[in-house]
Structure 1
Amino acid sequence: MGQALPVTSVRVVDVERITPGTARISFTADELPALMEDRPDQQMKLCLPRAGQTVPRLPERCADDPYGMRWYEAYLAIPEAERPWMRGFTVRSYDRGRNVMAVDFVLHGDAGPASRWGAAARPGDVLGMVGPSSLYARPLPAARRMLLAGDETALPAIATVLEALPAGTGAVVYAEVADPAEERELPPAAGGAEVHWVHRDRGGSLTEAVRDAGPELDGVGAAWVAGEASAVRELRRHLVEERQLPKNAVEFSGYWRRSLTQDDGPTEEDLAEAAERAADAS
């Protein structure tokens, strides 16, 4: 299960505003039971309709490509004016009994197609979905105590990691959000968790908070870091070079790039990050 990169349609069944700036949108589809896995940090891409469309135009499955591995070629073959916006998300939860998948949308006005769509989403709306796939799954580093750090975009994945930690692993969480109203309840880890909220409206930043952490990080032997790409790279360097964590004990992922979108090509730093990940995995 999960060895393909399927392209399917998902339908909205519920919309809940869990904070002023976050909408939790629940989807269903007949294909979901075969796609969802019992693991944390399931990442996939949602295809959003262009202006004037109510349903996104999805790439067609190739007859000679049963595993859907050439989906991106088919996606690029769609005329640009009709090609759906595609954005990466993490599955917050999947209720197998109800066949419902929950996804959190960070809402920041009309700055991007995902935010615009999420703010206006209603039951019955339809999106496309690519993945998730275990081809991209990475095991969590093993440790008795783990650091989880990220911004709003990483909170769904952080919640799933907390739910998946074994009883012998404790966690310390640093989460950067816009202001106190954006805090939310995170699930307790089986081994216990300490949560530290960092508020941008009060001048806080994720990188500074982790750098300045004292005894809170005593005993941390591994880390999971995600969010804005440059902050993630800075935190990884700090954890490896200054806190002496082994490179393979720091799982990191740049979810978004400041002043750039997922439609923009990779920067030199993006390519360097990809090379580092490949080197760690080899």
Structure 2
Amino acid sequence: MYARVTARQQLTPSLVRVVLSDGDLAGFTMPAATDAYVNVAIPPPDAPYDDVFDLAEVRERFAKDLWPARRRYTVRAWDADRKELTLDFVVHGDSGVAGPWAARVRPGDVLVFEGPGGGYLPDPAADWHLMVGDESALPAIAASLEILPAGTRALVRLVCDGPAHEVELRSEAEVDLLWLHRAGMPSDEELLVSALRTAAFPEGRVQAFVHGEAAEIREIRKHLLVDRGLARADMSCSPYWRREMTDEDWRQVKRDFVAAMETDVA
């Protein structure tokens, strides 16, 4: 599947919004999930194949170092009437693959992807909702808040690099929102879990969405399951990335890391 870039917007110093249309989007169908995602395929510079390519064919015909890099990105929005797909990319200079692509992309450029998939949707039967994460989790959290109806309660804790990196979050729900700002110190890793340890949780059953940096998410998950008594079935939790690791290195060890997380609450 592919689509063409129709707009690019710099939301914050490190967050770029890309709007896609045309291509194969007439056949795009969103799942019932606010963490819906697509797996994008970013070719290396000067790739010896067309912008619109078949991934299986590329893998069959070319050496591995010419294969596109695969990355997973949450769908920020899907306009079914206009057939427009919106993705938000975290950009940290020249680091990574998809970020630099989003930094330089222009209208008319092509993005090849597979999907969508997804699994999390705010449960209307929950008494309240907990949403915790960093920039990588913002699209899903923003999409989730937007569908919460009036009369719903949500406690949201987010970490970013400073006030300029905050984004507007819209919701009809009653939202207890706190932005936490990194200071470039080792203690940054404790910002989210410390904020949760001191937070006053509402009464009743909570449904939680907890996604972000691996070490931070591991500590938060342990706190919520062990100290707060949350049920695993009521938590969507995943370490999206890991500090001081490239995407490729993290993908190699993520399965073992997730397995090790289970030993924290065994």
TM-score (ref. length: structure 2): 0.85
Contact 2:33–2:120 under 8 Å retained in 1:
no
- Judge conservation of contact 1:144–1:170 (CA < 8 Å) in 2: yes
| Secondary structure in 2 matching 1:60 | helix
**Alignment size in residue pairs:** 251
Query: Which among 27, 33, 40 is matched to residue 46 of structure 1?
Result: 40
Following superposition of structure 1 onto structure 2, how do residues 1-282 of structure 1 map, counting pairs within 5 Å?
A: 8-37=1-30, 39-53=33-47, 55=51, 57-60=53-56, 75=59, 78-133=62-117, 136-141=118-123, 142-188=125-171, 190-201=172-183, 204=188, 205-213=191-199, 215=200, 217-219=201-203, 221-264=206-249, 265-267=252-254, 268-272=256-260
Kept after mapping to 2: 8 A contact 1:24/1:102: yes
Deviation track 1:147-184 (CA, whole Å, cap 9, x = no partner) reads 10000010000011112334453111101101110011
Q: Is the 8 A contact 1:49 1:127 kept in 2?
A: no
Q: Provide the rounded CA distance (Å) in 1 between the counterparts of 2:244 and 2:54.
A: 27
The residue matched to 2:176 in structure 1 has which SS? strand
When residues 153 and 122 of structure 1 are mapped into structure 2, their CA distance, relative to the original with a 3 A threshold, is: same
SS in structure 2 at match of 1:81: helix
Q: How far 1:17 sits from its partner (Å)?
A: 0.6
Aligned residues: percent identity? 34
Extract unaligned runs of 5+ from structure 2: none
Counterpart residue identity of residue 101, structure 2: W
Contact kept? 1:93, 1:160, Cα under 8 Å? yes
Q: What secondary structure sits across from 1:266 in the alignment? A: helix
8 A Cα contact 2:146 2:170, kept in partner: yes
- Kindly indicate whether the alpha-carbon contact (under 8 Å) linking 1:13 and 1:27 is maintained by their aligned counterparts in 2: yes
> Greater shift after overlay, 227-236 or 158-167?
158-167
Q: Tell me, which stretches of 5 or more residues in structure 1 are unaligned? A: 1-7, 62-73, 277-282
The structural deviation recorded for 1:193 is 1.2
Report if the CA contact (8 A) 1:36-1:94 is conserved.
no
- Amino acid of the residue matched to residue 40 of structure 1? T
8 Å Cα contact 1:174-1:198 kept in structure 2: yes
In structure 2, C-alpha distance between the alignment counterparts of 1:167 and 1:34, rounded to whole Å = 33
1:109-134 CA deviation, whole Å, 9 max, x = no partner? 0111112111111001112101113x
Separation (CA, whole Å) in 1 of partners of 2:208 and 2:120: 13
| TM-score (norm: length of structure 1) | 0.80
Partners of 1:235 and 1:225 in 2: CA distance: 8
Preserved contact between residue 94 and residue 102 of structure 1 (Cα < 8 Å):
yes
CA deviation after TM superposition for structure 1 residue 75, in Å: 4.9
In structure 1, how many angstroms separate the alpha carbons of the residues matched to 2:170 and 2:26?
24
Secondary structure in structure 2 of the residue aligned to 1:252: strand
